[in-house]
Homo-oligomer: A and B are copies of this chain.
Amino acid sequence: MRACREVLNGAVPLPSLLDPDRLFPSDPASREIARELYASVAALPILSPHGHVDAAVLLDNEPFADAAELLVRHDHYVTRLLHAAGIELSALGLPDADAPGAVAPAREIWRTFSRNWRLFAGTASGYWLNDQLVRILGVDEHPSAENSDAVFDRIAARLAAPEFRPRALFDSFGIEVLATTDDPLDDLSAHAALAADSTFRGRVLPTFRPDAYLDPADAGWAERIEALTLGRTSYVAYLDSLAARRQYFIQHGAVAADHGVVQPLTIDLSPSDAQALFDCGMAGTLDGAEARAFSAHMLLEMARMSVEDGLVMTVHAGVHRNHSSETHRRFGPDTGHDLPVATNWVESLHPLLERFGNRADFHLVLFGVDETAYSREIAPMAGFYPSVYVGAPWWFLDAPDAVLRFRAAVTETAGFYRGSGFVDDTRAFLSIPTRHDMSRRLEAAFLARLVREGRVDVASAASILHDLVDTLPRRVFNL
């Protein structure tokens, strides 16, 4: 780990598996510009205002178990592609409800992964994994059936070292801010303990994620509302309790509330209509359309609360979750079976924007997995409404070519200054520096092309790149 920071910053020669010019444009003149632009931001601190790392990982600061635990088992990008190759999720270490207690051995999981390394060529995961293996874990060969055990042991030795504990990595990665994603009823004790710990300098911020409390069609909704409202199950108490939990999150450092929906539908119901639907929801008598109306109303209410309490509102839309009910039942959510669907923003958000769209103090960041909406809806909305920001390309679209398509699709309409800055949105702690580095390289590559095409001068490009990496996320997320 001694050299980790230096390697990350380019001070140490990189192994041949890692091209120092990776992701830069092919044309030599553009490549030279990209190289210089990238160098100007490569070492800036990492701001990660949205993600899924557990705060307890940093609080406990336990060593990572092994290569399979670190890189395979919890990464649904990895498990889904191995599952597609015909490998059972149970063979990747995921607990199987049909075979309780049985867990694949870590070394065997790593063998399976290594044997199938070719499947990741050209994917975002392949890029990230290679970067982590080489830059952070010091592995200087591609995983393979032949080297599987040796690499597993080599990684194990690394993980045992104190500089590979989570907090040491947090420092060496140069992370300044890391946001987690949390249930509204979470007591945030891990966040509080970290904030009180004078030996840890990083900022670890909770994020309010109330999805499960907003949609009466979700199993267990009424029970959760009972818990949220401490039994006072009126619509007014429901709204008050949500507002109170938001305040609790704010007191613990939260800067954002996050919302995951299939379609970003919003409806502006009257209080009495909302109350009536709420009561039916608690009684379990809503039909599908009524439940959709109520949750659409609640998304608008969340915007209202954001206007009032200042939490940035992030919306992640367009994913059909748990498409395979068999693997969902056996292996649970977030294991690879989520699929994008076409997403409509302009019509769906109309009621919300009619209410709050023109407020510059309201920050609404939109993340989608239907890239057709980038040029057609998201950039045009962010190019008019002062509240709307273009979220970084998300999930299936957080990959080199997709990022450049995103950048080209939004910039010509919204410019560079209506974006959220990069958001890694990751569950894989080790991938954080890799993903931010990838983003910086791609932004440099995009700007270098524009310089080469006479559309931006090089001084402006350098200034824009600094703003994309540093100024914008601070401003949009009030960091």
Say yes or no for A146: interface residue by CB 8 A criterion.
no
How far is B357's CA from A325's CA once the two chains are assembled, in angstroms? Answer: 11
Does the CB pair A340–B411 fall under 8 Å? no
Chain B residues within 8 Å of A21, by CB: 454
Does the CB pair A455–B22 fall under 8 Å? yes
Does the CB pair B412–A401 fall under 8 Å? yes
Contact with B along A96-124 (1 / 0, CB 8 A): 00000000000000000000001111111
Nearest chain B CB to A333 CB, angstrom units = 13
Does the CB pair B454–A386 fall under 8 Å? no
The number of residues on chain A lying at the interface, defined by a beta carbon within 8 Å of a beta carbon of chain B, is 94
How far is B30's CA from A22's CA once the two chains are assembled, in angstroms? Answer: 14
How many copies of this chain are found per oligomer?
3
Looking at the complex, which of A5-13, A368-376, A428-436 is the stretch in contact with chain B?
Answer: A368-376
Does the CB pair A26–B29 fall under 8 Å? yes
How far is B452's CA from A30's CA once the two chains are assembled, in angstroms? Answer: 13
> Given contacts A22-B455, A26-B27, are A341 and B412 in contact (CB under 8 A)?
no
Does the CB pair B384–A324 fall under 8 Å? yes
How far is B28's CA from A124's CA once the two chains are assembled, in angstroms? Answer: 26
Does the CB pair A341–B336 fall under 8 Å? no
Nearest chain B CB to A190 CB, angstrom units = 32
How far is B340's CA from A357's CA once the two chains are assembled, in angstroms? Answer: 17
Does the CB pair B413–A119 fall under 8 Å? no
Chain B residues within 8 Å of A340, by CB: 346, 376-377, 380
Does the CB pair A122–B326 fall under 8 Å? no
Contact with B along A384-428 (1 / 0, CB 8 A): 111010000000110111100100110111111110000000000
Does the CB pair B386–A84 fall under 8 Å? yes
> Given contacts A84-B418, A371-B375, are A324 and B358 in contact (CB under 8 A)?
yes
Does the CB pair B326–A358 fall under 8 Å? yes
Binding site for B on A (CB under 8 A): 17-19, 21-30, 80-81, 83-86, 118-124, 126-127, 142, 320, 323-327, 336-337, 339-342, 344, 346-347, 350, 353-354, 357-358, 360, 369-372, 375-377, 379-386, 388, 396-397, 399-402, 405, 408-409, 411-418, 449-450, 452-457, 460, 463-464
Question: Can you give 16 A-B contacts (C-beta < 8 A)?
Answer: A23-B453, A23-B454, A25-B26, A80-B383, A81-B414, A118-B463, A121-B416, A122-B416, A123-B411, A127-B455, A325-B354, A326-B354, A337-B384, A341-B347, A399-B413, A400-B412
